[in-house]
Copies of this chain bind each other. A is one copy, B any other.
């Protein structure tokens, strides 16, 4: 490339092309060294006001923007953090991401969002991609943490925080709510006035759902309600799956249902209504995330309310502390929850 003291040059095919200017261009125009430019750009105090002004003028003149890639290579920091979501379409995760993003911006990080598609293999591969991109940290969302993943995490030098997820081993920094207790309370409400309470959930054996399952069983026990496998239904998370569950629920004789996902709950509720079952008079429904979906249905749905935004925000703050090697009291942050009673439950 031909030397020039401005960012426009003529290439041989005669077309004027804009060349992005580098720190050298700025230095030359300002009549200082690149080191000085670097200092000014990075807010280093040890620069005479006079030269700072000169440099800033040159920066503006050339419309100079530091190349984050080069900066990353030199500083060994990318100022980006990776976020792994199981799905782009579930508002529960979207809400967490907003919390993450807000705090990330405060600390001058950019977030790199990856979709694990709720698949363990994919999850590991996207994490590896994020690491290849040299993210300074990772926030992971989902339901469960597989063995393969845990062993990978333990070997990683990149710090990781789990948001809204449970690590049964307590090895990995985590921000979440006490799902077991929340479910215990929510199901308790139902069990207090219903003989038979069903539970509709994703895979029961892992992560959050196993905590919920435990809370569910404890609540039944407290109110001396019979536990029956038949009233525990595993399903995928989708409105349609919930809608299709009506007959199975009816068959169990349950007069109340706790559902771990709002969209599934919405599907179930609409399915019940469409088949002539009155909610909450004949069947009560309790959802788990109090997303906006719970307001779309008629009647709108009572739900556990998780502070999703805060889960994201706290996770990100947590991560910054780990990255900066600050002291952290506790590996696990448990946030408060509440139960919001609306119209799909009786009082």
Stretch in A24-32, A68-76, A219-227, A327-335 touching the partner: A68-76
Give Cα A78 to B69, complex, Å. Answer: 8
Flag if A101 contacts B80 (CB, 8 Å): no
Contacts of A297 in B (CB 8 A): 296-298
The number of times this chain is found in the oligomer is: 2
- Does A230 reach chain B (CB closer than 8 Å)? no
A283-321: contact bitstring with B at CB < 8 Å (1 yes, 0 no)? 000000000110111100000000000000000000000
Stretch in A44-52, A91-99, A170-178 touching the partner: A91-99
Flag if A132 contacts B66 (CB, 8 Å): yes
Which of B72, B73, B98, B131 touches A88 (beta carbons < 8 Å)?
B98
Flag if A134 contacts B67 (CB, 8 Å): yes
Flag if B134 contacts A69 (CB, 8 Å): yes
Contacts of A128 in B (CB 8 A): 65
Q: Which residue of B lies closest to A296 (CB)?
A: B296
Known: A89-B94, A298-B298. A67 touches B115 (CB 8 A): no
- Does A338 reach chain B (CB closer than 8 Å)? no
Q: Which residue of B lies closest to A79 (CB)?
A: B133
Instruction: Name the distance in Å between A269's Cβ and chain B's nearest Cβ.
Output: 9
Which residues of A does B touch, CB under 8 Å? 18, 20, 65-70, 72-73, 78, 80, 88-89, 91, 94-95, 97-98, 101, 110-115, 128-129, 131-134, 155, 157, 239, 263, 266, 270, 273-274, 292-293, 295-298
28 A-B contacts (beta carbon < 8 Å)? A18-B157, A20-B157, A65-B128, A65-B132, A67-B73, A67-B132, A69-B69, A69-B72, A69-B78, A69-B133, A70-B73, A80-B112, A88-B95, A88-B97, A88-B98, A88-B101, A89-B94, A94-B94, A101-B115, A111-B113, A112-B113, A113-B113, A263-B292, A270-B295, A270-B298, A296-B297, A297-B297, A298-B298
Instruction: List the 6 shortest-distance A-B pairs measured between CB atoms, nearest first.
Output: A296-B296, A69-B72, A113-B113, A68-B132, A88-B94, A68-B133
Known: A69-B73, A266-B296, A270-B296. 15 other contacts (CB 8 A): A18-B155, A18-B157, A67-B73, A68-B132, A80-B112, A88-B94, A88-B97, A91-B91, A98-B115, A101-B115, A110-B133, A112-B112, A239-B296, A263-B292, A298-B298
